[in-house]
Amino acid sequence: DGGITQSPKYLFRKEGQNVTLSCEQNLNHDAMYWYRQDPGQGLRLIYYSQIVNDFQKGDIAEGYSVSREKKESFPLTVTSAQKNPTAFYLCASSRGGPPYEQYFGPGTRLTVT
Amino acid sequence: EDQVTQSPEALRLQEGESSSLNCSYTVSGLRGLFWYRQDPGKGPEFLFTLYSAGEEKEKERLKATLTKKESFLHITAPKPEDSATYLCAVQNDYKLSFGAGTTVTVRA
């Protein structure tokens, strides 16, 4: 089955630690995205990548980093510089740029204490 | 800056009671308007894309329409399994701007 996988589903970390969230897709999509979702707010774009070895900052990139070494994979690292890292993180992919729709993975809930 | 506002925030319906959700938007160059369904603790599920004013799309009990300033998601004769949060998003360039969503609860 084609789709997007994110792991783990739940992640717990201590404050001050970096953590990497995994995102893999087998849809052969060129573009991949990372969003953050907080209660009562719309999804906010962290980073996006239109092609391998290239990525751009979204609206809230501070405290996050990404890499795109393979077409299928787009891992997100939440660094200790991110002030409020506890959130629901969603990875998405699309065939290309607009107007193609984005398809989302199941999400990773990160809790930092 | 692109803005998307969804109303109401929450909607409680009786099974079979039709209703509409609103998504109003301001965007400098609309490349597409998207509707998603999200169940608690899960990723959004794609429903529809609308590209131009006057366009309509249907899927089972859902129908999405688009004008130059807003979109409506009509739910006809809803069932309990239609309970979810419905998200609206507009695309400008490579970015999707999302509204906060409307949480729909359908009681049997």
Average pLDDT over residues A64-93: 96
Mean pLDDT by 10 residues, chain B (108 residues): 93 98 92 95 96 95 96 98 97 86 97
Q: Which residue of A has its CA nearest to B93?
A: A98
Q: Do B4 and A41 touch (CB under 8 A)?
A: no
Neighbour tally for A41: CB within 10 Å: 13
pLDDT for A97 beyond 80: no
Q: Do B91 and A50 touch (CB under 8 A)?
A: no
pLDDT of residue B90: 94
A-B contacts (CB, under 8 Å):
64
The whole-angstrom separation of Cα A39 and Cα A17 is 24
Closest CA–CA distance from residue B100 to any residue of chain A (Å): 4
| Residue A69 CA: distances (Å) to CA of A51, A73, A104 | 9, 7, 20
Let me know: does A19 contact A110? Beta carbons within 8 Å.
yes
